[in-house]
Structure 1
Amino acid sequence: MQLPDDFLVKMKDLLNEEFEPFITTYNDKQTNGLRLNTLKIKKEDFLNLTSFALKQIPWVDVGFYYNHEERPGKHPYHEAGLYYIQEPSAMAVVEVMTPQPGEKILDLSAAPGGKTTHIAQYMKQQGLLVANDIHPSRARILSQNVERMGIRNAVVTNETPERLAKRFPSFFDRILVDAPCSGEGMFRKNPLACDEWSLNYVEACARRQKNILDQACQMLKTEGQLVYSTCTFSPEENEQLINQFVKDHPNFEIERIDVYDQFSSGRSHWVDGPVKGIEHTIRLWPHHIKGEGHFIAVLRKNGAREQHKYKQLRPIKNKNRLKDYLTFAKENLRTIPKGTFILFGDDLYIVPSEMILMDHLKVIRPGWHLGTNKKNRFQPSHALALSLKANEVKHHVNFSSDSHDILAYLKGEAFRVQGENGWNLITVDGYSLGWGKLSNQLMKNHFPKGLRWMS
């Protein structure tokens, strides 16, 4: 790999005697990881189910290294949302954050969704998770991953930090800013990042990160937690940025967090006039651990509690508008989902009860998508299928992961099978994969066209 000359000079000056072991890591293969989705499967159940050769990631109880040759991204279990493929060091951020069920949490730069889906596992479908990304195409990918992992309590938005800050003043218990950065820690994983890198790009990233943090802190409750992370080595985007942020916002302090013993402390000698606790920031170095580069800072907001009034959502009051959904649910589900219902066009959602008015926000997914009102009928969504278990539906058809039928289903093909006419949940080794509709032993395929396997 051809690394930028300015990067090499800079890192040699920063690391001194550590430079040689650091730079030799670029001769190694990148590490690959997957994180089990505990919203759907327990760790011991997955380990008994899978044939993958997995090795535990030491800082994540449900995180594992895998061999790239196994291609878990092309396995039916991936489509069922049993795991999320994620770089091992990136998993450390939410492990440090430790979200709790029932909280209100914002993931401000969330796409493609690795940390959002990790947060959701900790929340256990309770509370409100707002996952935002400023780029429309990336926000759609984020929404797809929220759906695949069966998350019910997430709202996905496509907004600027400034517009969100106006809507959510002092609102969230925790905020994650996984900041867009110069990507130095991912050069080995993404060689194209080398082509984009320059010293000027580092400075531009730092300016953008400062603006994002300035907006994020306005949305945090007093005594709330702000977690900042990057996948770069540059002090300008890490220790120096956090140091200046604390100077500019004296009601914030850097928290000390107990972490895996091979993680390193932030480097206070890379900062002019270090604030108290800058050494409590966290560094993940590829020559110390089996993973890429990462930086994490945990900040706590102090001061007097602020009082704000928030405009509440307007749920559906006319129960006739739920008639077709309730008919479907009574015919096909053993337990009928309840909550705050809203219609988004013809699409029916259950919105987390903590969510406030969404008018004039760019919302990609306003909650748990149940399905779509068609003419005199209700069509269940893929999101509903992926959030259900086999024992929650009246009819389901199960296949093993290596069966011809499951491959045919993922390709969008119809197939013949014995069963009950009507909507059936298709499962792989007992875990939901999508809908089919059976008529006279022919299963019509309702796996979404955009997700179907080509080969």
Structure 2
Amino acid sequence: MNLPSDFLVKMKDLLKDEYEDFYKSYQDPKKQGLRVNTLKVSIDHFIEISPFALDKIPWVKEGFFYKDEERPGKHPYHEAGLYYIQEPSAMAVGEMLDAQPGEKVLDLCAAPGGKTTHIAAKMNQRGFLLANEIHPARAKILSQNIERMGIKNCVVTNETPARLAERFPAYFDRILVDAPCSGEGMFRKDPNACAEWSMENVALCVSRQLDILKHAGNMLKLGGRLVYSTCTFSPEENEGVISHFLKEDSRFKIESVVAYEGFGEGREDWVSEGALDIDKTFRLWPHKLQGEGHFIAVLTKVDGDEGFKRKYVDVLKDQKLLKDYVQFAKETFIESPKGDFILFGDSLYMLPGGTLSLKNLKVLRPGWHLGTNKKNRFEPSHALALSLKGEEVRHTWCVGKDSNEIESYLRGESLAVKGSKGWYLVEVDGFSVGWGKLAGDVLKNHYPKGLRWVGK
């Protein structure tokens, strides 16, 4: 691997006696990881049914290493959302945020969704989760991953931090800022990051990170937790950014939290005017654990204004607009889901509790996508299928992970099935993977065209 020469000089100066071990770590293969989606399956059950050889990741209970030769991204369980493929060190961030059910939580720089989906699993479908991504194409990928993991209580936006801060002052219990950075910690995982690295880019990242943190701080409640993370070794972007932020904003302090014993400490000696307790931040090193480079700081808001007036979203009141959905729900569910509805174009969503007005914000997903109003009928969404369990619906069609039928279904083929006509929740080994509609002993395939398997 051709690492940037300026980067190597910088790291040799910082690490001194540790440098050789650090440099040699780039000769080791990167470690692969997946995180079990506990919204769909318990950890113990997944271990029992896993088709892959797994080794425990010690700093996150849902996380496992898998072997290089495994291909978990090409398996029916992946399509069913039983796990998220995630770099092992990155899983530590969701653990540090430690979101709880019922809270209001913001992931401010959320794509592609690894940390968002970890947060959502911690919340267990209760509370309000806002996942934001400023880049439109990446925001779409984020929304797709939230759908695959069966998350019901998440709103996805494509906004600037400044615009969100205007709408959500002192609103969130917890905020994650997984900041855009120079990516030094990902050189082994993503060699393209090497070509994009420069000292000038490090300086640009620092300015952007401080701006994001400023707006994030304004959106946190008094007593709330803000986690700042990067995937870079750069002290300027890590201890430096946190120290500068705390100097400018006295409402925050570094929180002392217990973490995995293999994590390193923040380095006060690597920055001028390091903040009080900067050594209570965390560094994850590739030569000290089986993962890539990360930095994590946990902050608490100890002062600030409260009592802002809130304008909440206008829920759907016209029951005539729900008549086709109500008919579908009566025919399909054992018991219909309850909550507040909103129409987003022709698409029907159920809102998470506590949703503020989304007017004039760029919104990709205003909640749990139930489906679309067509002419005189309601067509359920793929997101609805992936968030349901078989016992919640009247009709299921279940096949095994190694069967020809599941491969045919994932390729988008219609299938011969006997049963009562209507919508069927298609399952693989008891886990929902999509919809089919049965009529005349033919199950019409409703697996989304953009997700269908090709060449198998």
- Give the whole-Å Cα distance in 2 for the aligned partners of 1:89 and 1:83: 16
Cα distance in 1 between the residues matched to 2:14 and 2:120: 37
Assess if the C-alpha contact under 8 Å between 2:284 and 2:295 holds in 1. yes
Q: What TM-score, normalized by structure 2, do the two folds share? A: 0.99
The equivalent of 2:133 in structure 1 is: 133
- Give the equivalent residue in structure 2 for 1:222: 222
Deviations 1:384-440 (A, max 9, x none): 000000110100000000101100111111111222211100000000000001111
Structure 1 residues 71-86: aligned runs within 5 Å: 71-86=71-86
State the match for 1:120 in structure 2. Answer: 120
Counterpart secondary structure, 2:177: strand
Output the CA distance in 2 between the equivalents of 1:351 and 1:332.
21
Match of residue 210 from structure 1? 210
Quick check: 1:151–1:387 contact (8 Å CA) kept in 2?
yes
Separation in 2 of the partners of 1:22 and 1:45? Answer: 37
In structure 1, distance between residues paired with 2:158 and 2:290: 34
TM-score (normalised: structure 1): 0.99
Q: For residue 292 of structure 2, what is the aligned residue in structure 1? A: 292
Q: Using the alignment, how far apart are the partners of 2:304 and 2:451 within structure 1?
A: 49
User: Which residue does the alignment assign to 1:437?
Assistant: 437
- Which whole-Å CA distance do the structure 2 matches of 1:392 and 1:37 have between them? 19
CA RMSD of aligned residues (A): 0.7
**1:277-302 Cα deviation digits (max 9, x unpaired):** 10000000011100000000000111
Structure 1 CA distance, aligned partners of 2:365 and 2:342?
12
Letter in 2 for 1:249: D
**1:53-452, aligned counterparts within 5 Å?**
53-452=53-452
With over 3 angstroms needed to count, the CA separation of the structure-2 counterparts of 1:174 and 1:411, relative to structure 1, is: same
The answer to whether the 8 Å contact 2:369/2:384 transfers is: yes
1:397–1:419 CA contact under 8 A, matched in 2: no
Distance in structure 2 (CA, Å) of the matches to 1:51 and 1:315 = 44
1:319-338 C-alpha deviation (Å, 9 max, x unpaired): 11111101100101112011
CA distance in 2, matches of 1:186, 1:335: 47
Q: Secondary structure at the match of 2:69?
A: helix
> Post-superposition shift, 1:305?
4.2
Please tell me whether the aligned partners of residues 251 and 304 of structure 2 are also in contact (alpha carbons under 8 angstroms).
Answer: no
Give the Cα separation in 1 of the matches to 2:273 and 2:313: 46
**CA–CA distance in 2 between the matches of 1:336 and 1:105?**
27
CA distance in 2, matches of 1:133, 1:201: 20
AA aligned to 1:5 is S
Alignment partner of 1:106: what SS? Answer: strand
* Structure 1, unaligned runs of 5 or more: none
Superposed displacement of residue 83, structure 1: 0.2
SS in 2 for 1:142: helix
Question: What secondary structure sits across from 1:279 in the alignment?
Answer: helix
> Partner letter of residue 201 of structure 2?
Y
Q: In the superposition, relative to structure 1, how do residues 430 and 205 fare at CA in structure 2: closer, same or farther (>3 Å)?
A: same
User: Counterparts of 1:42 and 1:420 in 2: how far apart (Å)?
Assistant: 32
What letter is aligned with 1:40? Answer: K
Paired residues of 2:174 and 2:220 also in contact (CA < 8 A): yes
Deviations 1:365-386 (A, max 9, x none): 0000000001111000000000
> Where has structure 1 moved over 4 Å in runs of 4 or more?
none
List alignment gaps of at least 5 residues for structure 2. none
Deviations 1:166-190 (A, max 9, x none): 1111111110000000000000000
Output the CA distance in 1 between the equivalents of 2:296 and 2:400.
Answer: 41
The question of whether the paired residues in 2 share the 8 Å contact of 1:169 and 1:218 is answered with: yes
Which one-letter code corresponds to 2:184 in the other structure?
E
Distance 1:383 1:67 in 2: 30
Does residue 453 of structure 2 align to residue 453 of structure 1? yes
The residue type equivalent to 2:454 in the other structure is M
SS in 1 for 2:433: strand
Structure 2 Cα separation of the partners of residues 452 and 212 of structure 1? 37
- Structure-2 separation of matches of 1:429 and 1:205: 46
